[in-house]
Structure 1
Amino acid sequence: MAHDFSGFDFIIQPGWNNSGPEHWQSHWQQLLGAQRVANHEWHAPQLDDWLAALDAAVDAATQPVVVIAHSLGCATVAHYAARYGNKLAGALLVAPADVERASAPAQLQPFAPLPQVALPFATRVVASDSDPFSLPLRSARMAALWQAPLVWLRGAGHINVASGHTQWQAGLAELAALLSAIRAAQQAA
Structure 2
Amino acid sequence: MPAHPLALPILSLPGWGGSGPGHWQSRWEALHGDQRVEQADWRQPLRGDWMMRLEETLLSRSREELPVLLVAHSLGCHLVAAWASHSRNTGRVAGAFLVAPPDLERDPLPPQLHSWRPVQRLRLPFPALLVASSNDEVYCALPQALALAEDWGAEVREAGALGHVNADSGLGDWPQGRAWLNAWAARLPASR
TM-score by structure 1 length? 0.91
- The Cα RMSD (Å) is 1.7
Q: Residue 76 of structure 1: which of 72, 76, 79 is its match?
A: 79
Give the letter aligned to residue 132 of structure 2: A
Structure 1 distance, partners of 2:140, 2:95, is 22
Q: Secondary structure at the match of 2:187?
A: helix
How far off is 1:3 after superposition?
Answer: 8.5
Q: Secondary structure at the match of 1:91?
A: strand
Structure 2: segments with no counterpart, 5+ residues: none
Q: Secondary structure at the match of 2:44?
A: coil
Which residue is equivalent to 2:103?
A: 98
- Superimposed CA distance per residue, residues 126-172 of structure 1 (whole angstroms, 9 cap, x where no aligned partner): 01011120011110000000111111122110001111122101001
Q: Residue 173 of structure 1: which of 161, 179, 185 is its match?
A: 179
Alignment of 1:37 onto 2:41? no
Which residue is equivalent to 1:149?
A: 155
Q: Residue 161 of structure 1: which of 167, 174, 186 is its match?
A: 167
Which residue is equivalent to 2:67?
A: 64
How far off is 1:76 after superposition?
Answer: 0.4
Give the letter aligned to residue 107 of structure 2: A
Give the letter aligned to residue 110 of structure 2: P
Structure 2 distance, partners of 1:32, 1:122, is 22
TM-score by structure 2 length? 0.90
Structure 2 distance, partners of 1:97, 1:5, is 29
Q: Is the 8 A contact 2:9 2:68 kept in 1?
A: yes
How far off is 1:34 after superposition?
Answer: 1.6
Q: Residue 143 of structure 2: which of 137, 141, 144 is its match?
A: 137
Give the letter aligned to residue 60 of structure 1: S
Q: Secondary structure at the match of 1:181?
A: coil
Which residue is equivalent to 1:50?
A: 50
How far off is 1:4 after superposition?
Answer: 4.5
Which residue is equivalent to 2:19?
A: 19
Give the letter aligned to residue 56 of structure 1: E
Structure 1: segments with no counterpart, 5+ residues: none
| Equivalent pairs, count | 185
Structure 2 distance, partners of 1:163, 1:91, is 22
Alignment of 1:107 onto 2:112? yes
After TM superposition, where is structure 1 displaced by more than 2 Å over at least 4 residues in a row?
2-7
Structure 2 distance, partners of 1:99, 1:30, is 30
Structure 2 distance, partners of 1:171, 1:157, is 14
Q: Secondary structure at the match of 2:83?
A: helix
Structure 2 distance, partners of 1:102, 1:43, is 19
How far off is 1:6 after superposition?
Answer: 4.0
What percent identity do the matched residue pairs reach?
A: 36
Which residue is equivalent to 1:186?
A: 190
